[in-house]
Structure 1
């Protein structure tokens, strides 16, 4: 994460320190929140997400042992294990620094600090934080893990569009997490207290499309034994998420366009329209160019649903996020199955990096769940990481072709290592390289 996008929380009982840090940081980061009382940590971190917490180690105590700071460090880590914490104190010593770093602090600084050194510490701490798109309040359950540049663009867009009532079109391949982004938009919106209603419209027939979305009255058709509100009514005051919008028929598109233009629905079996107040979010695995073909999709509907579009990058374009996500899923499934915590052996990481993940984050999630289940001991090894043959068969079509020599070399190395299940010696022989030469190329391409 870049420093300019960071959200910082500063906690110190010295008002002069808070003013100094606010003045130093406010022009360099996205937001700075300050507090004098560490008892506010629970409230502040329940209501907002912070990338870096700058925390004093002594609060109004006569004995400056730093134990208060270590206690509150633990509280911060409980509220958000991914937050980076920088501890500051006027009573620094080596033992205290070591203790704080062992407890999970990102850095340890002594007052008075040097501005450049503090800024560098904040910059490094922000870079360690896998920013999570989650609502700035208690109760949200959306968690999108990532710190790559493409995902930073997604987080920035979500932050800008979520507070508005604009209709959003989310684009991306299957398995990239479009539904999580839709929920993050809702949970960061002014409608967050309203319902979030998801409909997979691509799976609905023409008859089901109208009854599901617009509802029906008793007697409207054979099995209509009672009045039933549609999804538009169910989403009143909240967000309606229409997934796989690119797969609906032209007839369905015409009905949907009419509702969006008039902002009202007429249930089947009724002549009385019902006003609807919803925020519309749609998603599709088709590209805008494909949607723009009027033989299959109405251009006027595209403009209605696409005030702003957000493109979710495939996992193969997200750099180091695959390791970050692997750690996230490994920890989650270790807790679920009562195992771990797990370490990753080097060959496991090389195999992980070599795979192109045509199934995207969903494929990685299932692979890590299987690895955790099958693992013996507390280390995940290369043989524990098994990828779906189904995804592998269709994956080659998803890899963009290139004529760039470096890109071709990188792609060839990835393919060979994946083919050999992460075995570096075997891959080096197949590529006509020594192990040392292959390692140099892996380092060159950050693999």
Structure 2
């Protein structure tokens, strides 16, 4: 036991026992309170938060049943459900020990005790209590962070008909444990939807784990998602739980699920169906309980038709689908979003910018926003950083995709969306001199998505 660590309450009707335990424990713990009268317990618990309570099992002379101890254990747990209670008695046996543990006690000490063993038992109980506190603190921190990020939907806001439909779907689905598939272009707020679903679910007090499947190398997929045992491969120097284990009891968000290869899709399907994982280097399955939310910016239904995505996996992950509209389909939300980001970033950068001019708003409303809400967010942030005035003007916004290399606005002779997309991709590829990564970033999509579109349009 670390020096002066832990607050202990000892309750025993024998004054000699109280004196001996206080003398024994005092050098090792921060505080030792003792009482011979169990009726003092409620008042003591109201004044001090104890790490461990050492509780006599019998308070009536010649009593051996232990019923008094069990009654006081019940009262203690009624006052403080997370209390760590260790019974002390001279009449212990295996049956009473089992009954005590089942009733909510943490451990059992027999009189007369061995000093070293008693100190070790109290030390373990103190560590258990402190671990409980750490877990509780972490949950509270996550809850507060989630409240800040998601209240009411953090940056996920809008009043357009399309967005009101999305909000309505979230409210209906969140209370269930149904698997959800979120479909939408990059930058539309798919993770914000996932967090909103988690926040309003019965699992909201548990963890929310987000995994970007597009950033995980195929060779590390099993290790990252299912975990590995020490020695399973060269760099496996210790046991490591996977994301499914870590998220058990809570929500697991798998972003960019459309990027998985068919072999990895098969492995993921097996875990979802069996609700258990097997760590790399082990043959022992571990059960897992997650609420699964997936997302992709790909046309996953077309991928099924093309044989690029397993239909049985799609059935498993899309009990309910949420379709997020691109920003170009909800222009009415642009002033609302722009002013929201204005409020966020003027506070962050301590700038005294009061508003965005009507001309600037009009400029934002006439832009195509290939990067969707994320691009709008970055545009507002950049404008706030660079502006020296108290009102943002059109010239404060540099919208890189709005102008061609010659400086003229892009114009289209067609309203066919496929043709417009082909023209835009061709133009951006030319501007980036064939650099796929740069072009994908400019378009606000992944390299995989760009390759798929290039193949579609034979570019």
Distance in 1 (CA, whole Å) between partners of 2:201 and 2:189 is 19
Out of 158, 163, 184, the residue aligned to residue 146 of structure 1 is: 158
State the Cα distance separating 1:206 from its structure 2 match.
Answer: 2.4
Question: After the TM superposition, which residues 167-186 of structure 1 pair with which residues of structure 2 at under 5 Å, given as runs?
Answer: 167-186=179-198
Task: Specify whether residues 181 and 138 from structure 1 end up closer, same or farther in structure 2 by C-alpha distance, changes over 3 A only.
Answer: closer
State the Cα distance separating 1:288 from its structure 2 match.
Answer: 3.6
Distance in 1 (CA, whole Å) between partners of 2:146 and 2:321 is 27
Out of 160, 163, 169, the residue aligned to residue 157 of structure 1 is: 169
State the Cα distance separating 1:349 from its structure 2 match.
Answer: 1.5
Question: After the TM superposition, which residues 200-239 of structure 1 pair with which residues of structure 2 at under 5 Å, given as runs?
Answer: 200-239=212-251
Is 1:263 matched up with 2:275? yes
Task: Specify whether residues 221 and 163 from structure 1 end up closer, same or farther in structure 2 by C-alpha distance, changes over 3 A only.
Answer: same
Is 1:189 matched up with 2:197? no
Q: Deviations over 1:223-271 (max 9, x none)?
A: 1111000000000100000000000000000000000110000001111
Distance in 1 (CA, whole Å) between partners of 2:416 and 2:213 is 39
State the Cα distance separating 1:347 from its structure 2 match.
Answer: 1.5
Question: After the TM superposition, which residues 414-429 of structure 1 pair with which residues of structure 2 at under 5 Å, given as runs?
Answer: none
Distance in 2 (CA, whole Å) between partners of 1:242 and 1:346 is 40
State the Cα distance separating 1:402 from its structure 2 match.
Answer: 3.5
Distance in 2 (CA, whole Å) between partners of 1:222 and 1:378 is 57
| 8 Å Cα contact 1:174-1:359 kept in structure 2 | yes
Structure 2 spans left out of the alignment, 5+ residues? 1-142, 421-459
Task: Specify whether residues 392 and 210 from structure 1 end up closer, same or farther in structure 2 by C-alpha distance, changes over 3 A only.
Answer: farther
State the Cα distance separating 1:138 from its structure 2 match.
Answer: 8.5
Task: Specify whether residues 401 and 270 from structure 1 end up closer, same or farther in structure 2 by C-alpha distance, changes over 3 A only.
Answer: farther
Question: After the TM superposition, which residues 273-312 of structure 1 pair with which residues of structure 2 at under 5 Å, given as runs?
Answer: 273-312=285-324
State the Cα distance separating 1:319 from its structure 2 match.
Answer: 2.7
Q: Deviations over 1:373-430 (max 9, x none)?
A: 111221110100111349989xx99x996379xxx9xxxxxxxxxxxxxxxxxxxxxx
State the Cα distance separating 1:137 from its structure 2 match.
Answer: 12
| 8 Å Cα contact 2:369-2:375 kept in structure 1 | yes
| 8 Å Cα contact 1:359-1:391 kept in structure 2 | no
Q: Note the aligned Cα RMSD (angstroms).
A: 2.7
Out of 385, 392, 404, the residue aligned to residue 397 of structure 2 is: 385
Is 1:272 matched up with 2:271? no
State the Cα distance separating 1:327 from its structure 2 match.
Answer: 0.3
Match in the other structure for 1:402: 415
1:236 aligned counterpart, secondary structure: coil
Task: Specify whether residues 227 and 352 from structure 1 end up closer, same or farther in structure 2 by C-alpha distance, changes over 3 A only.
Answer: same
Structure 1 spans left out of the alignment, 5+ residues? 1-134, 409-447
| 8 Å Cα contact 1:358-1:391 kept in structure 2 | no
Distance in 2 (CA, whole Å) between partners of 1:287 and 1:401 is 23
Q: Deviations over 1:102-132 (max 9, x none)?
A: xxxxxxxxxxxxxxxxxxxxxxxxxxxxxxx
Out of 368, 375, 378, the residue aligned to residue 366 of structure 1 is: 378
| 8 Å Cα contact 1:136-1:188 kept in structure 2 | no
Task: Specify whether residues 392 and 367 from structure 1 end up closer, same or farther in structure 2 by C-alpha distance, changes over 3 A only.
Answer: farther
Task: Specify whether residues 138 and 330 from structure 1 end up closer, same or farther in structure 2 by C-alpha distance, changes over 3 A only.
Answer: closer
Distance in 2 (CA, whole Å) between partners of 1:383 and 1:317 is 25
- Using the size of structure 2 for normalisation, the TM-score is 0.55
